[in-house]
Chains A and B, each alone.
Chain A
Amino acid sequence: MSDTPTSAKPLALTWLALLLLLALTLGSAYIPLSGFNAAVNLAIAVAKALLVLFVFMHLRHASSAIKLIAPAGFFWLALLIGLALADFTTR
C-alpha cells in the first residue's frame, strides 16, 4: 500500500474505460464473428477485471506478498479449468 493518495484522474479514466469496454462487449455480441464472439467477450471481461484489480484494488502498489497471493486464486482456477478442458476436448 502506497502512502501517497491516489489521484482522482486515473480512477475516473478507469471508470470511463470500463464503461467503454462494456459498450464494446455488448456491441460485439451482435456482430457475427464466426465463432469468436465468446472469445472476444471473455477477452474484454479479462481486460475489465485487470483494470479493476490494478487500479481500483491498488494491485500496482501492493506489497510483494499480495502480488503473489492475488494471482493464486486465479492460478488454481486456471488449473481446474485447464486440466478439465484437456480431458473433455480430447475424448
Chain B
Amino acid sequence: MSASAAVVAHQFDDAAQQRDAADTGMWVFIASEILFFGVLFFGYMMTRIHFPDAFAAASRHTDVVLGSINTAVLLTSSFTMALAVRAAELGRGKNIALFLGLTILLGALFLGIKVTEYFEDYQQHLVPAVNFSFATAHRDGAELFFYLYFVMTGFHALHLTIGMCIVAVIAVKAWKLSFTRQYFTPVALVAFYWHLVDIVWIFLYPLLYLVART
C-alpha cells in the first residue's frame, strides 16, 4: 500500500475525491460564517441608516493609524498563509511550519495592536456599559456605534485567536513532516479559515475606521 493510499478513507474512490469532499465541507462552513458575520454587518447597516451623523462622529474617535497598520498586518498574514499552502503543495514540510509560524506571529501582532486600541478606547471613555461618555448631541447613536465596534471586532478577534490555536497545532504536525505532496488537507483547510477571517476584517476596516475622515 502506497503512502497516499494509506490515508484514503474507505468511502472515497481516491485521494483527490477525498480532498474535494474536505474542501467542499470547509466552504459550506465558510458560507455559514459569512451569514454569522453578515447579521452583524446587517445590524451595523440598519443602525448607520438611523444615526448617520452619530456614526460619522463616533468613527472619528477610532484610531485610524493603528487600524490601518493592523489591516496591513492581517493582509500580510494571509500572504504568509498562502505561502504555507504553496510549501505544502511542493512537499516542503519544514517550510510549511515556518510560514505557519510567521502567520501566527502576525496574528499575535494584530491582536496586540487591537488590545492597545481597546485600552485607548477605555481611557477615552468609549466602552459602552463600562464607562461610555460622549459629549455631543450624538451620544445615543455613538454608543450604538461603539457597541457594534466592540461586538464585531471582538468576534473577529475571537475567530483569529481560534485560528492561531489551530494553525499552531498544524504547524507542529508540519514540522514533524506529517504532510506529503499528496496529503496536506489540514493545511489547506485552515488556510481557507484564515483567509475568511481576513475578508471579514477587510470589510470591518472601512466601516469602522473610515466613515467620515474628510
Mark A residues whose CB is within 8 Å of B: 1, 5-8, 11-12, 14-15, 18-19, 22, 25-26, 29-33, 37-38, 41-42, 44-45, 48-49, 52-53, 55-57, 62-63, 65-66, 69-70, 72-74, 76-77, 80-81, 84-85, 88
B:175-207 near A, CB below 8 Å: 188, 191-192, 195, 198-199, 202-203, 205-207
With a CB–CB cut-off of 8 A, which chain A residues contact B23? 1, 62-63, 66
Contact between B206 and A84, CB atoms less than 8 A apart: no
Residue of A with least CB distance to B19: A1
Contact between A56 and B195, CB atoms less than 8 A apart: yes
Contact between A25 and B30, CB atoms less than 8 A apart: no
Residue from the list B16, B20, B75, B211 in contact with A22, Cβ < 8 A? B75
Could you list 9 examples of A-B contacts with CB < 8 Å? Answer: A1-B20, A5-B86, A22-B72, A37-B214, A56-B79, A63-B23, A69-B28, A74-B34, A77-B42
Residue from the list A41, A53, A80 in contact with B38, Cβ < 8 A? A80
Contact between B35 and A77, CB atoms less than 8 A apart: yes
Contact between A77 and B213, CB atoms less than 8 A apart: no
Contact between A52 and B68, CB atoms less than 8 A apart: no
A-B interface, 7 closest residue pairs, ranked by CB to CB distance from nearest = A73-B31, A73-B34, A41-B206, A5-B89, A15-B79, A29-B210, A77-B38
Mark B residues whose CB is within 8 Å of A: 16, 19-20, 23-24, 27-28, 30-35, 38-39, 41-42, 45-46, 49, 64, 68, 71-72, 75-76, 78-79, 81-83, 85-86, 89-90, 188, 191-192, 195, 198-199, 202-203, 205-207, 210-214
